[in-house]
Amino acid sequence: MRMTKMKLLCTAVAVCLAPQVAHATDGYFAHGYGMKAKGMGGVSIASTSDGFAGANNPAQAAFAGNRLDVGIDWFSPVRSMERSGAAIPPLNGKVDSGSENFLVPEFGYNTMLSSDMAAGIAVYGNGGMNTDYPQGDFQCPTPTGTMAPGNALCGSGKLGIDLSQLILAPTVAFKIAPTHSIGIAPLFAYQRFKAEGLQAFAMISSDPSKLTNNGYSSSTGYGVRVGYLGKLSDAFSIGASYASKMKMGDFDKYKGLFAEGGGFDIPSHYGVGVMVTASPELSFGLDFERINYSDVKSVSNRSGNVFAGAALGQANGPGFGWQNVDVIKVGVQYALNSALTLRAGYNKTDNPIQAADVTFNILAPGVVQDHYTLGFTYALDKNSEITGAFMHAAKKSVSGTSLLSPLFQSMGGPANAAGTEKIQMYENSLGVAWGMKF
């Protein structure tokens, strides 16, 4: 039996560590980690129902028992951009991003070393963003005064980015009292990124050779997550979790795009949560989370910094202008019978993108705010179960004046040359996981 568990563990970790594209919804973080959390709007901080303590709250491991969870999530973001009211009419148009189907794996393992101590590991896609716009029918001004075909940001060929982040989180937790625990999870991250179609921004880049179309660049880094869990009674549990900023290596191939010479750290975030058991069949959960995108200059620097003379790639260079976000997650689960448990949830996040930063965020339109989820767990026998989860993020758009207008005015074009731009997105996901108790 022990050899079988080790084979399952090694196989699952290997699958999760293979290059994957991970995408997310609370800004560019996932709305939840672990299929049970995903079915409850992401509620997880005070829960102890699976092996994803390292992704949610390390202190959970002390109460989670011996278990293995392996899942796969189909994720489908639908994104588009539209430009209207341009004083140069051929700049007007609309284009939809391709690449609308992704598979995101997840893996969690937990084992009790004693009645008061547990260890485990979680492997999960932290988040990411992908866009893949075809060139479309746009016509763009050139320095010679002529018009030439271009993509939505007046570069050549298709336009887009691909960012994915994978985290490995070994975990140790201790009961400091029979109903209270603390835990720690060192975080080890791998991320990769590529950009295409940004040639028009060469004039504002500190290193145009490391701006766009350089293929994938990757980096690794580290951080830590700590947590507390208290079962204050049979009916009420509370939890808290904090993850430090993760210091990542630079994207060397994109030193002329991201602030601080290709810097792209993973921001700190923290949360608190409660679980209330109203009856043996019915329970409710509520989480609050804060994601500090301001930790990362390449994400939070305002795109308008270019008007102060800052070049792409410099410490104060233009970024995506993302604000810190607060996330509220609420969920309910009901045991219909001894085999079937049903779940539902709602996740509300702030929109990190302001109207003034819409142009840069054509590449990363993380504007969705309202997430609606459903889920279930079905017990196959006393030691194994299947869990499913569905999420729909409602359509959301943000509009703002194009930052391309000053660029074309510098070439002698009219005011409001590029008019107004709108970015829009909605999402669906559907996942399934297998869990085993041992």
Decide if pLDDT at 21 tops 90.
no
Cα 74 to Cα 57: distance, rounded to the nearest angstrom? 24
Cα 395 to Cα 265: distance, rounded to the nearest angstrom? 28
Report the pLDDT value the prediction gives residue 145, as an integer from 0 to 100.
Answer: 78
DSSP character at residue 323: P
Q: In degrees to the nearest 10, what's the CA dihedral of 153, 157, 159, 160? A: -150
Q: In degrees to the nearest 10, what's the CA dihedral of 144, 146, 152, 154? A: -20
Decide if pLDDT at 25 tops 90.
no
Taking only the tens place, the pLDDT of each residue in 106-156 is: 999 999 999 999 999 999 998 788 999 999 889 998 877 789 999 999 999
2-437 under CATH 2.40.160.60, yes or no: yes
Taking only the tens place, the pLDDT of each residue in 315-325 is: 999 999 999 99
Report the pLDDT value the prediction gives residue 1, as an integer from 0 to 100.
Answer: 47
Cα 161 to Cα 58: distance, rounded to the nearest angstrom? 32
223-248 burial, b at 16+ Cβ within 10 Å, e below that, comes to bebbbbbbbeeeeebbbbbbbbebeb
Q: What is the mean pLDDT of residues 187-197?
A: 97
Report the pLDDT value the prediction gives residue 345, as an integer from 0 to 100.
Answer: 98
Q: What is the mean pLDDT of residues 191-195?
A: 97
Per-residue confidence band for 6, with pLDDT thresholds at 50, 70 and 90: very low
How many beta carbons lie within 10 A of that of residue 54, not counting itself? 32
Cα 391 to Cα 66: distance, rounded to the nearest angstrom? 28
Report the pLDDT value the prediction gives residue 24, as an integer from 0 to 100.
Answer: 62
Decide if pLDDT at 10 tops 90.
no
Per-residue confidence band for 410, with pLDDT thresholds at 50, 70 and 90: confident
Amino acid 340 reads L
Residue ranges of the alpha helices (H) in 317-378?
none
Nearest to residue 19, comparing CAs of 128, 142, 147? 128
Decide if pLDDT at 13 tops 70.
no
Cα 138 to Cα 152: distance, rounded to the nearest angstrom? 7
Report the pLDDT value the prediction gives residue 275, as an integer from 0 to 100.
Answer: 98
Per-residue confidence band for 159, with pLDDT thresholds at 50, 70 and 90: very high
Amino acid 208 reads P
